[in-house]
Amino acid sequence: MTTSEWVLMAAVFGASTVEMVEALTIVLAAGTSRGWRSALEGAATAVGVLGVLVAAVGVPLVRYVPIDALRVVVGALLLSLGMSWLRKAWLRASGHKALHDEDAIYAETVADLAVDGPRVRTRDPVGFAVAFKGVFLEGTEVVLIVISLGASQGRLALASLAALAALVMVVVVGAIVARQLSKVPENLIKLVVGIMLTSFGLFWVGEGAGIHWPGSDLFLLALVGSLAVLTSVVVPWLSRSAPLRTASVSS
Amino acid sequence: MAVALGAAAHRVGVVMTTAIARAGRAFGRFWLDFLVGDTPELFVVTLVVVAISFGLASVPRAVAVVVVPLLAFGAVVWSAARGRVRQP
């Protein structure tokens, strides 16, 4: 495999992990408060719809859209998303923004669902809808990343496999740790993925526009390394004026 | 009979139009949130990076290789600095 394929797999895997942890929190809350049958059916239906979306949108993109145009559009999408994730991760790591608290989200969702009625043993439309919506909304972002990264390199199957691996890992870990999703170092993953998406975005925009990066695919590693160094400088600098608890990058 | 059928068809049309309009608004909101979100400056910077990449594609490679990444890196630092919560 080439350097860019390894980075592609790591980026898709990381991004999928972050989004799926958020989706799992909602599914766990729906299952606990409304019954597992409907919650799991809702989650499975959403995964199915997302799979159809990847095939319906991704495959024609790879086959029919000129690669340079695709790389500019996809690169711009990834760059915009990556810079936004990176900014958020920097602000969270430096204490300017509260960390994403899965425990709080879980408790809030359970409380909301409890208000809607008691737990039911048969099919429950509320539990189904909440689980479906949670998985579908978080999963749409995964689908966009899978299609963007996969299509721009003509490796849609590889990107889908990386997302699938993340899904399996999150489900297995979720089943083991159950409600302790706050233990997942979400901000660290978001930071790493933000660096990767920004690097991919710059790389593809440049390639699509006609810039020839030195070292070809290896330049991706230079971009990733530069952003990692920048992060190690910016986070402590931002921390100096942080009003919140100063969190380490890994928290 | 014909009047009743016409009224029913009108109602179905209204329901369909409302549903399509609602779906369209939700689709638009999703993309607006996805692309712009709470950092419109980064969306604008993305467009600038794309434009500059095309502009620098024909100049010596060293210029583009330095300018394009630096522009994006600088934009994220500037946006994060703007997003800092000021201490009282």
Longest CA–CA span in chain A (Å) reads 62
Chain A residues in contact with B84 by the CB 8 A cut-off are 91, 96, 238, 241-242
Q: How far is A110 from chain B (nearest CA, A)?
A: 25
Report pLDDT for B44. 93
Please check whether residue A196 is in contact with residue A148, taking contact to mean a CB–CB distance below 8 angstroms. no
In this prediction the pTM is: 0.72
Q: What does each of the 88 residues of chain B score in pLDDT, given as a tens digit? A: 677 778 888 888 888 888 888 888 877 887 788 778 888 999 999 999 999 999 988 877 778 889 999 999 999 999 999 888 655 5
Of A149, A156, A161, A137, which is closest to residue A79 (Cα–Cα)? Answer: A149
Band (pLDDT 50/70/90 cuts) for residue A248 is: very low
- On chain B, the residues whose CB falls within 8 A of the CB of A203 are none
Give pLDDT, residue B76: 94
Question: Residues of B near A (CB-CB distance < 8 A)?
Answer: 30, 34-35, 37, 39, 42-43, 45-47, 49-50, 53-54, 56-58, 61, 64-65, 68-69, 72-73, 75-77, 79-81, 83-87
CA–CA gap between residue A177 and residue B84 (Å, rounded): 34
In this complex, the residue of A91, A202, A214 whose CB is nearest that of residue B80 is A91
Residue-wise pLDDT for A201-231, tens only, equals 999 899 888 888 888 778 888 999 999 999 9
Q: What are A56-81's pLDDT values in tens digits?
A: 877 777 777 787 888 888 889 889 98
Rounded to a whole number, what is the distance in Å from the CA of A176 to chain B's nearest CA?
32
